[in-house]
Amino acid sequence: MIAVIDYGMGNLGSVEKALKYIGSDCVITSDADVIADASGVILPGVGSYGPAMDQLADRDLINPIFDAVYSGKPFLGICLGMQLLLEGSEENVIERRETKGVVSGLGIIPGFVRRFPESGLKVPQMGWNNLTDVTGRLLTEGDYVYFVHSYYCQLGDAHDNAANTEYGIKYCASFEHENIFGMQFHPEKSGDAGLRILQKFTAETRL
């Protein structure tokens, strides 16, 4: 069973629908015991970085996330959920009066979340892009997937980079570190390519 973490900011219905469509047993939950018992965990996300970290703390989900990640079970962060796994983000810095220049994240993956630089392109990025430079085992070179975001992940360790894409700049579209996967795009909204990616993640939970 895959646990989809509910912290009030995830695209829960679409993720659940996609997983059930491919025949994956899943449950939407904020229960630490259910997360601990799951064979795999997904941290989805739609919204802003600071409020998302607040929600994780308020719902006592930070330690269950750490426990799941370090148990070795497959763990997937989607969009904002991917970004939260990094050390921090430039998002919400001004309104929170952060003197260190970032809002702190979970710090599981080295790196920081940056806002897209000015390039003449509309931000947020909303649309379909191909994955390039693919090394991640869940992905295929050229996968055409759907993105919606204003910030991107700048990894601290290039070895964690599993795929790139371009929107004004080339940036990390996916990372992979042992049992931990991050996807800036939404596989649950990416048609056949996204379903194949979720099928591969589901297969990882059964190994």
* Candidate list 16, 26, 79, 149, residue with the active-site label: 79
Report the interhelical angle of 62-71 vs 49-58 (nearest 10°).
90
Catalytic-residue membership of 79: yes
Per the CB < 8 A criterion, the answer to whether 197 and 183 are in contact is yes
Catalytic-residue membership of 177: no
Q: Output the CA angle 174-22-70, nearest 5 degrees.
A: 45
* Candidate list 16, 177, 186, 204, residue with the active-site label: 186
Catalytic-residue membership of 188: yes
Name the 3-class secondary structure at 158: helix
Per the CB < 8 A criterion, the answer to whether 116 and 169 are in contact is yes
The runs of H, that is alpha helices, within 115-207 are 191-204
According to DSSP, the β-strands at 125-130 and 169-177 are unpaired
* Candidate list 16, 176, 188, 204, residue with the active-site label: 188
Q: Output the CA angle 139-118-127, nearest 5 degrees.
A: 40
Catalytic positions, written as ranges: 79, 186, 188
